[in-house]
Amino acid sequence: MVRYCPHILSLTVNRCDNITKSIELVARSYPNLVSINVRDTDVTDATIKTIASMCPELKYLCNNDCIFLTDDPELAVAHGYYYS
């Protein structure tokens, strides 16, 4: 995907299971992402921290209905992301 779509700025992945490793790979491959929506997926605190550390341009992160998250990811994105 990186080879054919190198300028992706937004990613939406809703209601998917077993997506954690793929989301982390996308975050590493696309550091210029500004918007990520992982609503109702199986992402974890570690996934959110990876996204926050690998995507410095991130402005919007939606993780509604992600049951494996605690309050901890808010710390990782507290420096300016819109976090819902």
Domain ranges of the chain: 10-83
The amino acid that residue 23 corresponds to is I
Per-residue pLDDT at 74? 60
Of the pLDDT bands very low, low, confident and very high (cuts 50, 70, 90), residue 33 is very high
Question: What average pLDDT does this structure show over 32-38?
Answer: 93
Question: What is residue 38's predicted lDDT score, i.e. its pLDDT?
Answer: 92
| CA–CA separation, 57 and 3 (whole Å) | 20
Q: What DSSP character marks residue 32?
A: T
53 and 78 in contact (C-beta within 8 Å)? Answer: no
14 vs 80: which has the higher pLDDT:
14
Looking at the predicted structure, is the pLDDT value of residue 73 above 60?
A: no
pLDDT tens digits, one per residue of 43-66: 988 888 888 889 999 989 888 888
Round to whole Å and give the CA distance between 9 and 55. 10
C-alpha span between 69 and 53 (Å, rounded): 17
